[in-house]
Chains A and B, each alone.
Chain A
C-alpha cells in the first residue's frame, strides 16, 4: 500500500496523469485447438497440452492453488496408479511427464519414445482425467511448495528472488503480483476440496490447446482429442484482469545475509508479440543484453570491461530460462508484458555504480541509432539464435501454441523477416517509443539495505576504484555516468526482510 500511495503522490507532484496500461486480453483459441507437427524419421513423441490457466486463477487467500493443483495431477497418481506406481510405470520408458506454470498459462508436457507410446498415452491422459487426489500426496507436495518459498526462494537463490520481487513491485494489487508457486499462507490454507474444485474450474476444454509433435499423425491427434473430450466443457469464468497502473520509480530492497547484491529493474508495458514494434524493441534489447550471451552491450561494458559481475542482460518480454541452457521458456504468454534488465550479483559497494551503468547504456540505445556494423552483427546473431530456439519439438510446439494466444503466425520466421527489413533508425524510433529510463522500478537483494536506500535516494556519485588500470575510454565513460540520477522517487523505497517475502 505504501508503495502505491507514494507513487500516486509522486504522480500528482509531477502533474502526470495516473495511467493504466491499455492492452487487450490474450486471444481465446477454439476449444481443444490442435497444433500438429509431424517430423519424419523421428522416434520420439512430444505432447504439450497448454491451458489458458495460471496463477491469475488462484482465488484470493489461496495463492498457489493452480500450481499446486497441477502438481498434484502430475505427481499424485491416477485412479489406477498410486504416486509410486506412477513413477514405476514411467521409469523404464524414461518417459517425461512435467508441468510448467505461469501467470496465465499452464503447460502439461509429455515426451516418450514411440516404442512406449500406447502405455504412455494412457497414463498421460489419466493424469488429467482421472487424478487420484490422495490427501497424503497433497500434504507432501504442498510442503515442498511451502519450502520452495520459505527456503529456496527466500534463502538460496538471490537472482530468482530479485526477479520475483520485481514482479511483485510492478504488479502490486494485480493478480500477477504473487509468486506463481504461491505464498506461504495461501498454500497453507488450501484443502483437498479446493484442489478438486480448481481442477474442474481451470483445466477445461475451452481453455485447452493441444500440441503434438514428432512421431505423430492425424490418427493420434484424433485419439488425443477423443480421450480429452471427457474434460469439462467449461469451468470458472475467465478472470478479468484488473488494469495495471503505469508504476514507475519504485524501489524494493530485500534484506538478507548475502555476499553480493542482486539487481533487477524494469516496468510493465503494453508491448507484446503481435505489436508492430515488438520485433524492433526485442532486437534492440537483444543488442543491449541477450540472455547469457557474450554479445550484448551490457555484458561487454559491465562484465567484460569493468569486471562488475558474471553477466548483465535485458529482456523485451517476461523471461524464464528453459532448464540449464540459455533459451527462453515457452508458454510464458502474458496479457501485460514487462521490460526488464537483470544485473547479476555485484560486490555490494558496486551495486549502485552497476545500476547507473545499466541506465547509461540503456539511454544510449534510446538516444542514438545502433552503429551500422554493430547493427548488422547483432541482427545476424539474433536471426541465428531464433533458429536455436526452435530446435526441439517441444520448443516448436511451445512457440506455435503461443502464436495461438497472441494471434501471431510462425513467430520465428516472422521475426527473421522483420529483422531482414529493419534499419538502425527504425529500431531506435521503436526503442524511443517503448523504452524509458525514467519509468524503471528497481529491486535489490542486499545485506546492508539501509546503505542502499541512502545511496538510491541520496544521489551522491559512486566513483569506482578498479583493482587494475582501465583504458582511457572506459574511465571517461565511467565519469559520464557515475553521478547519474537513478529515477527512484524519494518516498518510494521500501525495505523488507527477505524472510517475510511472499508470506501472503
Chain B
C-alpha cells in the first residue's frame, strides 16, 4: 500500500460528507480475503498467507456474557465455552483433543462480553480432520451431567486464581455500579454466587447451545497455506447439515445516567491504591466513528505521550501506571481512565489531573499533532500486529464477531483515518461529563482505615 494513501483518505473524509459512499479504496487489511456464505447462514472467510505450512482456524460465535439475560445465570457464555471441549457421540470426551493433539494443533478458546472465539493453530496437513471435528462439535455437542458438574469446579478454580488480583473485583464493582439493567452489569466470569451455583444448571446449559450455537451466529476464518477449493468443499460437506437460527434476545437497555456514581473497595492484602474514572459511552460500530474515536481518545488522554502520563508517571511520580484500556463493545459501554497510585495521599491530585485534561479537551483545546501521531501509531501497530497466520485470524475473528461482519477488520480499521481532532472535542463534550461518570476507588485495608484528606 502506498504511503500517501493515509493522507489521501483523511483528506477525502474531510471533504466528503461522512455518509457518502467511500470512493474505491485499496483495503486497509493488507491480505486478500475470500468470503462465502453457506445456505444455512454460516459464513466462511479464507485468507491465503505464507505461513511455512501452518494454518489458523477460528470459529467466532457472536455470543458473549452480553447474552446472559436471565438472573442467576451469569457467566454461562464462558462456562459454555469450556463445555464445548466435552465431546460428542462420535468423539466422546477427550477424543477430539487426542486427534487434534496428534496432528499438532495448539487449540483453545476465549470468551468476552460480546463473543466467544474458538481457535486452533497447527500444520496445514491437519486441516481436513480439523474441519470434521470442529463441525462435529458445533453441531453435535453432547456431555453428561457429572462432566458438566466437574467442569463447574474448574471454572471456580479459574475464578479463584483470578481473584488474587484486584482487577477482577474492580471490574465487578465498576460494572455493577455503572449498569443496572444491561447485562454488562456482570463480568464475563459472572457473579461469584452464580459460579458457585453452576453445577445445578445442566438443563439450562443445553438450552444455551440450542439458542446460540447456530450457523447464522458463527463466522469461520481460515488463514495460512491451504488449497482454497478443497477447504471450501470440506467445509460445505461438514457444516451443511447444521440447521436452525440463533435466538433473538432483548438485551435490556440501560437508561441514561442521571447523576454521578461512585464505588469504593477495600483490599485485604497489601497492594497499590487504584483510582478509576469511567464514563458511559456509545457502542463501537461499523456505522459510526464512535469506536475509533474512543480508541484515539484513550491514547490522547492517558497514553504514554499524554500530558497526564508525563505529569503523573514521569514528572511528579504520583502513580506507577495510568492508562485508558478501551475495548470495543457491541452496546454502549464504558470509557475508562485508571491509575495505580504510589500512595493513597496522591488520589486527589491524580483525580484533578485527569479532570483537567478532560475539561481542556471538552472546551475545544486539542493538540492536532498528537492526534496525527496516534493515528500513525494505530496504523503501525495494526501492521506489526499481523505477523503470523494466527495473529491475522485472531484479529479477523474478534472484529468479525464483535461487529457481525466477516470483513469488519478492514472496515473498522480503515476508518481511523477519518478521525479528526474535532471528533475528540465533540466526544469529550458530549460524554465525558460529571453526570455521566462513575468513580471507583480501591484502597488496601491499612490505607483504607486511615482518615481521609491527608
Given the interface contacts A387-B123, A468-B146, does A307 sit within 8 Å of B154 by beta carbon? yes
Q: Assess whether B75 is interfacial by the CB under 8 Å rule.
A: no
The reply to whether B384 and A381 contact each other, CB–CB distance below 8 Å, is: no
The reply to whether A151 and B272 contact each other, CB–CB distance below 8 Å, is: yes
Smallest CB separation, B33 vs chain A (Å): 18
Smallest CB separation, B397 vs chain A (Å): 15
Write the chain A residue with the least CB distance to B268: A257
The reply to whether B102 and A380 contact each other, CB–CB distance below 8 Å, is: yes
Q: Assess whether B54 is interfacial by the CB under 8 Å rule.
A: yes
Q: How large is the interface on A (under 10, 10 to 19, 20 to 34, 35 or more residues)?
A: 35 or more
Q: Assess whether B19 is interfacial by the CB under 8 Å rule.
A: no
B370-397 Cβ-contact flags toward A at 8 Å (1 or 0): 0011101111110110011110000000
The reply to whether B106 and A293 contact each other, CB–CB distance below 8 Å, is: yes
The reply to whether A393 and B387 contact each other, CB–CB distance below 8 Å, is: yes
The reply to whether B122 and A388 contact each other, CB–CB distance below 8 Å, is: yes
Given the interface contacts A139-B317, A387-B54, does A294 sit within 8 Å of B161 by beta carbon? no
Contacts of A326 in B (CB 8 A): 106, 108
Which of A83, A96, A113, A147 lies in contact with B320, CB distance below 8 A? A147
Contacts of B107 in A (CB 8 A): 293-294
Q: Assess whether A88 is interfacial by the CB under 8 Å rule.
A: yes
Write the chain B residue with the least CB distance to A345: B161
The reply to whether A83 and B101 contact each other, CB–CB distance below 8 Å, is: no
The reply to whether B150 and A380 contact each other, CB–CB distance below 8 Å, is: no
A292-307 Cβ-contact flags toward B at 8 Å (1 or 0): 1111000010011111
Q: How many A-B residue pairs have CB under 8 A?
A: 200
The reply to whether A158 and B164 contact each other, CB–CB distance below 8 Å, is: yes
Of residues 277 through 318 on chain A, the ones whose CB sits less than 8 Å from some CB of chain B are: 292-295, 300, 303-310
A136 to B373, CA, bound (A): 27
Contacts of B158 in A (CB 8 A): 310
Contacts of A150 in B (CB 8 A): 270
The reply to whether B161 and A381 contact each other, CB–CB distance below 8 Å, is: no
Contacts of A307 in B (CB 8 A): 149-154, 157
Q: Assess whether A157 is interfacial by the CB under 8 Å rule.
A: yes
Contacts of B151 in A (CB 8 A): 304, 307
Which of A378, A388, A392 lies in contact with B387, CB distance below 8 A? A392
Which of B3, B164, B199, B373 lies in contact with A115, CB distance below 8 A? B3
B92-133 Cβ-contact flags toward A at 8 Å (1 or 0): 011001100111111110000000000001110010000000
Q: Assess whether A58 is interfacial by the CB under 8 Å rule.
A: no
Q: Assess whether B349 is interfacial by the CB under 8 Å rule.
A: no
The reply to whether B164 and A378 contact each other, CB–CB distance below 8 Å, is: no
Q: Assess whether B243 is interfacial by the CB under 8 Å rule.
A: no
Contacts of A293 in B (CB 8 A): 101, 106-107
Q: Assess whether B190 is interfacial by the CB under 8 Å rule.
A: no
Contacts of A155 in B (CB 8 A): 269-271
Smallest CB separation, B426 vs chain A (Å): 24
Interface centre among A256, A305, A384 (most CB of B within 10 A): A384
Smallest CB separation, B224 vs chain A (Å): 11
Contacts of B54 in A (CB 8 A): 387-388, 391
The reply to whether B146 and A381 contact each other, CB–CB distance below 8 Å, is: no
Contacts of B163 in A (CB 8 A): 259
The reply to whether A94 and B380 contact each other, CB–CB distance below 8 Å, is: yes
Given the interface contacts A91-B303, A155-B270, A257-B268, does A384 sit within 8 Å of B104 by beta carbon? yes
The reply to whether A257 and B269 contact each other, CB–CB distance below 8 Å, is: yes
Q: Assess whether A10 is interfacial by the CB under 8 Å rule.
A: no
The reply to whether B101 and A116 contact each other, CB–CB distance below 8 Å, is: no
A257 to B444, CA, bound (A): 13
Which of B165, B199, B270, B342 lies in contact with A499, CB distance below 8 A? B270
The reply to whether B165 and A157 contact each other, CB–CB distance below 8 Å, is: yes
The reply to whether A111 and B384 contact each other, CB–CB distance below 8 Å, is: yes
B292-323 Cβ-contact flags toward A at 8 Å (1 or 0): 00000000000111000110011001001000
Q: Assess whether B166 is interfacial by the CB under 8 Å rule.
A: yes
Contacts of A346 in B (CB 8 A): 157
Q: Assess whether A144 is interfacial by the CB under 8 Å rule.
A: yes
Given the interface contacts A44-B384, A147-B320, A310-B161, does A94 sit within 8 Å of B377 by beta carbon? yes
Contacts of B199 in A (CB 8 A): 467-468
A90-116 Cβ-contact flags toward B at 8 Å (1 or 0): 011111100000000000000111011
A104-145 Cβ-contact flags toward B at 8 Å (1 or 0): 000000011101100000000000000000001101100110
The reply to whether A143 and B160 contact each other, CB–CB distance below 8 Å, is: no
Q: Assess whether B345 is interfacial by the CB under 8 Å rule.
A: no
The reply to whether A140 and B387 contact each other, CB–CB distance below 8 Å, is: no
Listed A/B pairs (13) with beta-carbon separation below 8 Å = A44-B383, A94-B377, A94-B379, A113-B384, A151-B270, A304-B151, A304-B154, A326-B108, A376-B102, A377-B101, A378-B102, A387-B53, A391-B51
**Interfacial residues, chain A to chain B (CB-CB below 8 A):** 41, 43-44, 83-84, 87-88, 91-96, 111-113, 115-116, 136-137, 139-140, 143-144, 147, 150-151, 154-159, 256-260, 262, 292-295, 300, 303-310, 326, 344-347, 374, 376-385, 387-388, 391-393, 466-470, 499
Starting from the known contacts A92-B373, A304-B151, 16 additional A-B residue pairs (CB-CB under 8 Å) come to: A94-B377, A140-B313, A260-B157, A262-B161, A292-B108, A294-B108, A307-B152, A308-B157, A344-B161, A345-B164, A377-B102, A380-B104, A385-B104, A387-B53, A387-B122, A393-B387
